Amino acid sequence: MEARSAGEAYPGPGHGQRRFKGTPSKGSPSDCPAPHPRVGLHSPHPALLRAFLPGGFVRRSWLPVAFLWLGYTALLVALTKYVNILPVKWAEEAHVVDDAFLLLMYLGSPVMAIVLAVMTWGAIDWRSDGADREDGPNQHTNRVLVTTWLIVTSALAIYVVINPGFIGLTEIRGESSSDYAIEIEASQFFWEITYHNGATALDELVVPAEMRVRYDVNSTDVLHSFWIPAFRVKIDAVPGITTQVYSTATAEGTIDDDINLRIQCAELCGAGHATMSIPVRVVSDAEFNKYIESLGGSE
């Protein structure tokens, strides 16, 4: 192949293919033109290749990445700890979901950080300098690294499945005692609330504060999902099956106090899905009884 001077611009990926046009040689295979080496942007920087070779992770070129990794991890952990992105909590059981969310954020921080660290140092130091590159040396796996990675990540995954997975779910759903039960029936595209005295309402859900309420959830047509963001309860509404969730509202309040005090359908159920939202009002015991009487139940 022709050599190009160092200052010559990279001619583009199609360059050099012209020589392959025309009738193929009828001679021996050795007469075939040799494939031209890859150029410029197609090859990783040698420093990147060296770093991935066995033992490469202790090379000096990775030290900045290690520091960046620690820095990004600290930043992400601090953001998770000090910047509250979770909606307001309005139920005793809500902390289980929040704890699970935060745990996954903490576990995900170093993973996110290593990606950011490699990208940052790649952009700073491992950029192509524009020169032609030959193919790099063969790469072999780093057995110690792969084994350690598999063991650590598998152990973490199993831990998360158990706690908060099974343990958290048991805390939210497993306890079957409740002070009060409310029927929730989902239809395209509205919610019907039925209280113990047979009274029904379509415009809002009213629940007594500091009582453990069981929601018996059903659907008359397609799949919906009963979700009250402030309570962190969510369960599918399935035609023909009654699903149940529990929540204990911690204080009186309305949707005017927080937008997350509402029922919101959380399963795409048709054109009116987004409109399947009604306010939740948490009231005192006395006020609650007065409310369901005013609805005119049969009891």
- Residue ranges binding Cu ion (CB under 5 A): 224, 265, 269, 273, 276
d(CA 274, CA 190): 10
Please report, to the nearest 10 degrees, the dihedral formed by the alpha carbons of residues 287, 290, 295, 299 taken in order: 130
Query: Whole-number minimum distance, CB 164 to Cu ion, in Å?
Result: 27
Contact between 211 and 53 (Cβ < 8 Å):
no
Query: Which lies closer to Cu ion via its Cβ, residue 68 or residue 276?
Result: 276
Query: Whole-number minimum distance, CB 190 to Cu ion, in Å?
Result: 10
Query: Which lies closer to Cu ion via its Cβ, residue 276 or residue 280?
Result: 276
Query: Whole-number minimum distance, CB 288 to Cu ion, in Å?
Result: 27
Query: Which lies closer to Cu ion via its Cβ, residue 229 or residue 253?
Result: 229
End-to-end CA distance of the chain: 95
Q: Which of 106, 50, 46, 104 is nearest to 79 (CA)?
A: 106
Query: Whole-number minimum distance, CB 216 to Cu ion, in Å?
Result: 19
Supply the DSSP symbol for 218.
E
> What's the token pair of residue 258?
């927080």
Q: What share of the chain is helix, strand, coil (3-state, %, to 5)?
A: 40, 20, 40
Query: Whole-number minimum distance, CB 262 to Cu ion, in Å?
Result: 14
Beta strands in the chain (DSSP E): 180-187, 190-194, 200-201, 205-208, 212-219, 224-228, 233-237, 243-248, 262-265, 277-283
Query: Which lies closer to Cu ion via its Cβ, residue 49 or residue 276?
Result: 276
Query: Which lies closer to Cu ion via its Cβ, residue 133 or residue 224?
Result: 224
Supply the DSSP symbol for 34.
P
Query: Which lies closer to Cu ion via its Cβ, residue 205 or residue 269?
Result: 269
Close Cβ partners of 40 (under 8 Å, ≥ 6 residues apart): 10, 128, 130, 131, 132, 133
Query: Whole-number minimum distance, CB 205 to Cu ion, in Å?
Result: 16
Query: Which lies closer to Cu ion via its Cβ, residue 230 or residue 265?
Result: 265
d(CA 196, CA 271): 32
Q: Which of 249, 243, 283, 206 is nearest to 91 (CA)?
A: 249
Q: Is the dihedral of CA 236, 242, 247, 249 positive or negative?
A: positive
Query: Whole-number minimum distance, CB 236 to Cu ion, in Å?
Result: 11
Query: Whole-number minimum distance, CB 204 to Cu ion, in Å?
Result: 18
Query: Which lies closer to Cu ion via its Cβ, residue 236 or residue 287?
Result: 236
